[in-house]
Chain A
Amino acid sequence: MTPPLLQPPGYLPVPDGTHPPLNSPGYKSTGIRAPSQQPVVLPHRLTEVTGPLLTGPVNPGDDDLTIGEHGEAAGQRIVVFGRVLDSDGRPVPDTLVEVWQANAAGRYAHRWDNWPAPLDPNFTGGGRALTDSLGNYSFTTIKPGAYPWGNHHNAWRPAHIHFSLFGRAFTQRLVTQMYFPDDPLFAQDPIFNSVPEESRHRMVSTFDLAATRPEWALAFRFDIVLRGREQTHFEEPHA
């Protein structure tokens, strides 16, 4: 019997220019929260190439954020959909996608959000879905509003939806934000602009007329790409 391969193939490195630097001075709170020391490289071993394959916490209706306790949420109804792929173009099936967002007025249903925009009693702003066997996911929600925050003079966050993905391995875990096309607030937002310029467009959804639901909802496509696998190597690892 072949001895077990104890060093499985890992995941491809993240190319430079993909993620924002943890210390991004334009976004003030990075200054007290970003680690000051260089990270120690952790080669991918068993714990890193595995990860939670969770399908349990999704209930029927969790992918529709517009149905409130007392009626429909206010605002413009939208469908947000897309595929979760790895960088080799392979779909990531059966993976949990979690979203959270502000309401149509740009306010979060959170005890710490106290800027004076209306709360919507029918909008909690959280949703969950699983990708199908081809990596497709879809949410029905309300287009979130922009909102001010205290980072700098006249700071406004562009409209965005927070996304969380597990992929198939600890190495693929990703939290990101989806933005809307042609937002006039991009230029002054240090969180959006923390990402190197050549990669920012990957956080911006595209309007998709073909996917709109007639007489019902606009549609925005947001494909998400997670790290791909290194090539499987078949030779025995050296001791």
Chain B
Amino acid sequence: MSETSLGLTPSQTVGPYLSLGLPWPDGPDVVPAGTPGAITISGTVTDGTGAATADAMIETWQADPAGRFDHPDDPRGAVSPAESGHPEFRAFGRTPTDDDGNWSIRTLLPGALPGQAPHIDVSVFARGLLDRVVTRIYFPEFADANATDPLLAVVPRDRRHTLIAVPDGEGRYRFDVRLRGDDETVFLQL
């Protein structure tokens, strides 16, 4: 097969001006304001010098609260937002960082997937990143599920906390992304 396959298009950096092409007004709203059960996940993206990264973008992708996706390649079948009881849930979030490197999305807690703890897949794009870097957000209240999650199990114990959001008040979490250096976020190879 490989001799007939097409060569992949290489990745390049988004550069410093991604905000001309990528953000949407409602990008950070995986669910709209006022949605029952909505949570907010916020954080800061910092670089290897500890400086805030003002020209980054975060994208999130996750299951709905029942652990289902509106996608035909889920072998369990696609479940649309209307069928799931969360008609305005988009599953996808996108936000640039602000001048202080901060980002925030409003969403619903993902449900558990078979054999996996509830999680959100995250892409980080920025000037100086020639390809996106990928990580995952897990949640502290699912300690039992996290303890048996197959990804967390292979992450070195002393770095595992970088994948777990920190409670930050009612319905609020923090998830900081440290691209490089001290307490560097665990990034994933897909």
Tell me the B residues contacting A by CB distance below 8 Å: 1, 4-22, 24, 47-49, 51, 53, 55, 59, 61-63, 69-71, 73-76, 90-92, 113-116, 119, 121, 123, 125-134, 136, 150-151, 154-155, 159, 179-181, 184-190
Q: Bound state CA distance, A8 and B24, in angstroms? A: 31
> What residues on B are CB-neighbors of A35 within 8 Å?
133, 179-180, 184-185, 187
> What residues on A are CB-neighbors of B91 within 8 Å?
52
> What residues on A are CB-neighbors of B74 within 8 Å?
8, 46, 49-50
Residue of A nearest to B75 (CB): A5
| Complex contact A162–B47 (CB within 8 A) | no
With contacts A6-B75, A40-B189, A176-B10 known, what are 17 further pairs, Cβ within 8 A?
Answer: A4-B114, A11-B190, A20-B12, A33-B179, A36-B181, A37-B186, A39-B189, A41-B189, A43-B150, A47-B63, A47-B69, A110-B19, A164-B22, A176-B9, A225-B9, A226-B8, A227-B8
- The answer to the question of A106 belonging to the interface, with a C-beta cut-off of 8 Å to chain B, is no
Interface readout for A5-47 with B: 1 if CB under 8 Å, 0 if not? Answer: 1101001101100111110100101111111110111111111
Known contacts A42-B134, A100-B17; A176/B48 CB under 8 A: no
- The answer to the question of A99 belonging to the interface, with a C-beta cut-off of 8 Å to chain B, is yes
Interface of A (DSSP majority class): loop
> What residues on B are CB-neighbors of A124 within 8 Å?
20
| Complex contact B11–A34 (CB within 8 A) | no
Residue of A nearest to B48 (CB): A32
B133 to chain A, nearest CB (A): 6
Interface of B (DSSP majority class): loop
- The answer to the question of A134 belonging to the interface, with a C-beta cut-off of 8 Å to chain B, is no
| Complex contact A19–B61 (CB within 8 A) | no
Known contacts A40-B151, A176-B10; A170/B19 CB under 8 A: no
> What residues on A are CB-neighbors of B190 within 8 Å?
11, 42, 44, 48, 170-171
Q: Bound state CA distance, A51 and B189, in angstroms? A: 17
> What residues on B are CB-neighbors of A34 within 8 Å?
128-130, 179-180
Q: Bound state CA distance, A46 and B116, in angstroms? A: 10
26 A–B contacts from the bound complex (CB under 8 Å): A6-B115, A20-B10, A20-B130, A24-B130, A32-B49, A41-B154, A42-B151, A42-B188, A47-B63, A47-B116, A47-B121, A48-B190, A50-B73, A51-B92, A52-B61, A53-B71, A85-B6, A87-B6, A88-B6, A100-B18, A100-B22, A110-B20, A168-B73, A177-B12, A191-B13, A191-B130
| Complex contact A195–B8 (CB within 8 A) | no
Query: A89 contacts which of B6, B13, B113 (Cβ < 8 Å)?
Result: B6
| Complex contact A22–B133 (CB within 8 A) | yes
| Complex contact A30–B10 (CB within 8 A) | no
Chain A CB count within 10 A is highest, among B15, B74, B130, for B130
B75 to chain A, nearest CB (A): 4
| Complex contact A36–B180 (CB within 8 A) | yes
| Complex contact A47–B76 (CB within 8 A) | no
Query: B61 contacts which of A12, A31, A170 (Cβ < 8 Å)?
Result: A170
B96 to chain A, nearest CB (A): 12
| Complex contact B18–A173 (CB within 8 A) | no
Q: Which of A70-78, A198-206, A213-221 contacts B (4 or more CB under 8 A)?
A: A198-206
A32 to chain B, nearest CB (A): 4
Q: Bound state CA distance, A200 and B5, in angstroms? A: 17
Known contacts A126-B20, A199-B10; A19/B131 CB under 8 A: yes
| Complex contact B6–A4 (CB within 8 A) | no
